[in-house]
Amino acid sequence: MATPAESLTRGDLEALWMPFTANRQFKAAPRILARASGMQYWTADGREILDAVAGLWCVNAGHGRREITAAVAAQLEIMDYAPTFQMGHPGAFRLANELVKIAPAGLDHAFFTNSGSESVDTALKIALAWHRVRGEGTRTRFIGRERGYHGVGFGGISVGGIAPNRKTWSAALLPGVDHLPHTHDLARNAFTRGLPEHGAELAEELERIVALHDASNIAAVIIEPIAGSTGVLLPPKGYLKRVREICDRHGILLIFDEVITGFGRTGSPFASQEFGVTPDMITLAKGITNGCVPMGAVLAGKRIYEAFMQGPEGIELFHGYTYSAHPVACAAALATLGIYEREGLLTRARTLAKDWEEAAQQFKGLPHVIDVRTYGLICAIELAAQAGKPGARGYETFVKCFERGVLVRQTGDIIALSPPLIIERAQIARIFGTLSEVLRAQ
């Protein structure tokens, strides 16, 4: 199929400043994706690439779903845009209702954004405003976690724990943020099947931070139930429950960032349900529209929403985006949720998890492999760094897999996998087979 991508020249690549990309390296040897359907991408020169990462953890129902295309096209014909400040449109209310149906019990309200980063900043702002509206305005501190990723807004990089994200903008980070230690512990947990046995005690660090600052100054804790972007760090058994208990004891809100764990990735609609721990707010994005149209949301519990509704008449939360609940995004999301429900995709990872884990655990003993972690349809293969060149082995593995027709994601020396939830067993075999060939050849 002729696409404009086929005719891109080296000069055509310069104008675009690519995000989270080594621009010079990429432009010297570009990887251009031109077409997608089901589990596959095709490159501009027609090579088939099996998508082992659902685009970027977002295309959970597979590519090119006609139901979404039709819903988006129909919505553009009916009404292209409608403001949602002091106005409404049917899709926004319908989508909020559908979302709270699949959300953990008690999270009954949805505030729409356009991305994971915006969802995180929105949740942090709601947390501050909620304490204030209840007369506890001294609660202004946030607690994040080392190796946490919460997007790229100033709020998100402040509570996040990724050094390069924080280094450059250190002077502009939010004041009053502490970080829990991360839970990644290869010495005790390498090659564990399922959740790690060791590390629940790291939740007690929260007590230490509370003792230091006093609970009356702390607004919220934000963590990813499974940290995705820093290489699939699974919560040790009992850890999340303990964090919830400590937050409850001190009146601190708990926010789960489910931007990647939402929409079936773990085998339940949300990781909160999978792990039996309900936060006060969930931030989500990505899978809500199957990656077709940018959208995110914050789900909030009744006690949060209701506190705002007790205040003086008028705008209760001075916050929102021009494109909050954009009609086209709502149409895409409603069609996506319909597919998830009809095809049982929000729990399908559970039925494949054993085979997925089995295939991944075969990597124990392969060259360079120092850990394998899986949960639901998520996997990390952690590789030993090359001497003095952290990330080089991971990058080489990513490029070699791409050359052999499989798209994986690389974070430092960790290879992360998170395929569309429609994946079949033969495709699981192909992904791990290719990765294994690549590692054996290094």
Ligand X SMILES: Cc1ncc(COP(=O)(O)O)c(C=O)c1O
Q: How far apart are CA 21 and CA 18, in angstroms?
A: 6
Q: How far is the CB of 50 from ligand X (least distance, A)?
A: 21
112 or 149: CB nearest ligand X: 149
From the list 113-121, 246-254, 262-270, 273-281, the region that binds ligand X by CB under 6 A is 113-121
State which residue has the least CB distance to ligand X. 116
The 319-338 contact track toward ligand X, x by CB under 6 A, reads --------------------
Q: How far is the CB of 279 from ligand X (least distance, A)?
A: 13
Interface with ligand X in residues 137-176 (CB under 6 A): 149-151
Query: Rounded to the nearest 10 degrees, what angle do helices 425-440 and 392-403 cross at?
Result: 130
Token pair recorded at residue 338 = 């319909």
Q: Which of 29, 25, 28, 54 is nearest to 41 (CA)?
A: 54
Q: Which of 85, 96, 129 is nearest to 323 (CA)?
A: 85
How many CB atoms sit inside 10 A of residue 145's CB? 28
Q: Which of 198, 194, 201 is nearest to 226 (CA)?
A: 194
Q: Which residues pair with 296 in a beta bridge?
A: 113
60 or 117: CB nearest ligand X: 117
Q: How far is the CB of 418 from ligand X (least distance, A)?
A: 10
From the list 83-91, 112-120, 204-212, 424-432, the region that binds ligand X by CB under 6 A is 112-120
153 or 359: CB nearest ligand X: 153
Interface with ligand X: number of residues (CB under 6 A): 14
Using the rule CB under 6 A, which residue among 107, 129, 285, 288 binds ligand X?
A: 285
Q: How far is the CB of 436 from ligand X (least distance, A)?
A: 27
Q: Which of 48, 22, 25, 23 is nearest to 37 (CA)?
A: 48
Checking DSSP bridges between strand 281-284 and strand 48-51, what pairing results, if any?
A: unpaired
The 222-261 contact track toward ligand X, x by CB under 6 A, reads --x---xx---------------------------x-xx-
From the list 99-107, 111-119, 183-191, 329-337, the region that binds ligand X by CB under 6 A is 111-119
54 or 195: CB nearest ligand X: 54
The residue with tokens 């798209």 is: 407
Residues whose CB is less than 8 angstroms from the CB of residue 231 and which lie 6 or more positions away in sequence, other chains included: 147, 184, 380, 382, 411, 412, 414, 416
From the list 46-54, 85-93, 221-229, 386-394, the region that binds ligand X by CB under 6 A is 221-229
Q: How far apart are CA 74 and CA 139, in angstroms?
A: 46
| Residue 71: HSE in the Cβ half-sphere, 13 Å Cα cutoff | 23
Q: How far is the CB of 106 from ligand X (least distance, A)?
A: 21
Report residue 220 CA to chain centroid gap: 19
115 binds ligand X (CB under 6 A): yes
Write out the residues near ligand X by the rule CB under 6 A: 115-117, 120, 149-151, 224, 228-229, 257, 259-260, 285
